[in-house]
Chains A and B, each alone.
Chain A
């Protein structure tokens, strides 16, 4: 396996046994003595290679196998078959040296002690990761400044807002300067402003310390703002691995054309070009086939009545939607 790759998986599979239960009391009673279950393949033959210092988006719809993969990479669960190497370690062996070099942040689960101020949780993590007092002080000051949490450290975690808690969670997760950071929906539930702050922090942190980051998110703003490369999985299978731009080009069959006329040309029908998205007076927005975009724009300009014309890529959400559907 290549030395410059921090994360390598080969033919990675994970199958879960899922208990089934029919509706009603009798079915429940029967289930006690004759339980029914079937096997669900959450991850199926995943090959993936992530270079040291890369920030990669790991995308897919709900139930695609993203979180299961992150759990295998962080050593939480065993793979059913296949191989994983992260920093040269096999994660499921849970070697202390390995665990000391990674961090897992899950947007819906928390590291902070609920009844205590975050500074107490940070103090515990200082001991767990064997960080000297001086180093702890320096790192904490740095994180507090970057995350703007100076006012949150001495307030009980349960009294903090979701945004403040998430930023404190990040401080706890990054205190030991992990080389690998697994981020599972770090902005989930946050308001738009707070999502932006978390994104800005992650970009800044990555630029400064260059950890390898694998990020899952359902917010496309996270993906667009943070990553260049994306790996897309669906039903446990990898369906795309490449740059975000290439994904747009490869999957987008249509472009968005917005045109505003001085006066609508006689006989103009937007349906002749593509699918109408909206019309407001002399302003039209249509979806047109990518290969006809240039020709259509040229034809419209030739009418001499165009005030403004833009051609845009379709939103990434739609691109992914098309990918998953196919």
Chain B
């Protein structure tokens, strides 16, 4: 899809997306108890993480140079990205496995809509919203009480870094979706995504120097949570965010290419 087609098609795709999300909400409401339990469990999970940090800082003043309030901001940003992944991307990654194995992907591919768009965003998991909202409350609380001081430049770099972060997560997700089409089995792929986030749970500063360099220059783990958190709390060099932006664009294009190749080589089940 070129830019002109994209701009023409965007309003229709946006309407379709809203309809899909409404449907996801209706679906979640079909299982109301599960929905409420999910939100509750998420909020508890978030709180346990918070208590963990509380324990760490009861015996140490800083972790790898990160003060308590900075670390809390880091945690809020990690949970924002982590929960957004679980709200938007993960349910679609799971559904992809089902679509490929059952052959229902055939019917999706015959719709006049961007298949990448449809398969990436059509499902939402609302019961994962507990973590998302509690992390926003924590971030706003830290800012409102003056425990993190955010300058205009830092805020600007933060949003730039956040864009890079989402781009990397989405690229990785798209790679996995493409692999699912090729190998027609996805269970381990979803676990790979989980391992990927394990690396992002703590600032890259806790790793040895050479691992840190690797995570900034080649494998963009640092850009998922550490750089956005640093941008917001202590500030980062604009060149770091520019490098992240460059890498993000490269990763997005590579993932898109890989996806298109996978769709072109799709052989469908049976027949």
The chain A residues found within 8 Å of chain B, CB to CB, are 16, 42, 66-68, 70-71, 74-78, 94, 96-100, 102-104, 106, 108-111, 113, 115-116, 120, 123-124, 127-130, 156
Report the minimal beta-carbon distance from B219 to chain A, rounded to whole angstroms: 26
Output the least CB separation between B97 and chain A (Å). 15
Query: Is the pair B27, A99 in contact by a Cβ cutoff of 8 Å?
Result: no
The residue that A104 contacts in the complex, of B16, B107, B112, with Cβ under 8 A, is B107
Of all chain B residues, which has the CB nearest A42? B271
Q: CB-CB < 8 A to A103: which residues of B?
A: 110
Query: Are A76 and B19 in contact, with the CB atoms below 8 A?
Result: no
Q: Chain B 10-30, CB within 8 Å of chain A: the 1/0 string?
A: 001001100110010011001
Instruction: Verify B112–A129 contact, CB threshold 8 A.
Output: yes
Q: How distant is the Cα of A124 from the Cα of B268 in the complex, in angstroms?
A: 24
Contact flag A128-B109 (CB < 8 Å), given A76-B266, A77-B266, A113-B27: no
Residues on the B chain within 8 Å of A124, using CB:
16, 19-20, 23
- Segment of B35-43, B98-106, B147-155, B244-252 engaged in the interface with chain A: B98-106
Decide if A128 touches B112 in the complex (CB within 8 Å): yes
* Chain B residues within 8 Å of A116, by CB: 23, 26-27, 30
Kindly list chain B residues whose C-beta atoms are within 8 Å of the C-beta of A129. Answer: 112
Asked if residues B104 and A71 are in contact (CB atoms below 8 Å), the reply is no
Q: Closest residue to A120 on the B side, CB-wise?
A: B23
CB-defined contacts of B267 to chain A, threshold 8 Å: 16, 77
B33 within 8 A of A: no
Inter-chain contacts of A96 with B (CB < 8 A): 9, 112-113
CA distance A96 to B110 in the complex (A): 9
Residue pair A104, B110 in contact (C-beta under 8 Å): yes
Give the shortest distance, in Å, between A91 (CB) and chain B (any CB).
9
Nearest Cβ on chain A to B132's Cβ, whole angstroms: 23
Which residue of the partner chain A has the closest CB to B264? A78
How many Å lie between the Cα of A123 and that of B106 in the bound state?
20
* 10 closest A-B pairs by CB: A67-B271, A99-B112, A96-B112, A100-B112, A127-B19, A127-B16, A104-B110, A68-B271, A120-B23, A115-B27
